[in-house]
Amino acid sequence: MNVSEAVMTRRSIRAFKDTPVPLETLRRVMDTARWTPSGCNFQPWEATILAGAPLRALQDKMLVTPPQDPREYSWDDPEVIPQCLARLHGVGAAMYTAMGIGRGDAEARDDFMRSNFESFGAPAVLFCYFDRRMGPPQWSDVGMWLQTIMLLLRGEGLDSCPQEALSLHAKLIKEFLGVSDESHIFFCGIAIGYRDPDVPVNNFDREREPIDGNVRFDGF
């Protein structure tokens, strides 16, 4: 699989098969991802990858624990920008329609939200965190690292779903992993596994802004 194929076939998978992910595959992906660009070579990213009994134990704790207040950080502030809100509503409507969940079906929507905390049945989950002293440039570096990981996973025939929703249990996750809440911020999880191709939520059409909507070319 070339890079373009990896980019075009990567999508956020929300229904995984229970097929285990080989440790040697994950080690190969993570070893290659070390070469992600990093400003000043700070390499701010840190992570723990769980599978099996430890992953299930953490998920069980999240399922019975209310989300923390306040949040670890806010991810939805751009909702005040009309075009961002429209894009959010568009993908949400497509996803829930694919699952046959109506707008007024609060119980089904809550159940689907809870499935975030089980990472949609993924057999492995990467939990990403980093030092609180890191600023916006380093957050950007972490994002590049995570994107590199997700594309490398596609190259291995694997799938993923980045999960900012797991930050609703950031303190619980850090305590479970033995990471200091005082020194570190929890960023997100990445569900890792093999997609179930027959589940509608993995197949609905997504939209992206045409390049002329947010990219300018000059001098050519």
Q: Where are the domains of the chain?
A: 3-68+117-202
Dmax (CA) of the chain: 57
For the chain, what is the total number of helices (H) and then of strands (E)?
7, 4
pLDDT above 90 (res 81): yes
Which candidate, 156, 167, 164, 173, places its Cα nearest to that of 19? 156
- The whole-number average pLDDT for the span 64-91 is 95
Class of domain 3-68+117-202: alpha beta
- The whole-number average pLDDT for the span 211-220 is 95
pLDDT above 90 (res 87): yes
CA distance from start to end of the chain = 31
- The whole-number average pLDDT for the span 101-117 is 93
- Helix H segments across the chain? 3-9, 23-33, 52-63, 82-99, 106-114, 136-155, 170-177
Which candidate, 158, 175, 165, places its Cα nearest to that of 123? 158
In the numeric block, the tokens 């000059």 are attached to 218
**The two three-digit tokens of residue 167, written as one number:** 């930050």
**pLDDT grade, residue 1 (50/70/90)?**
confident
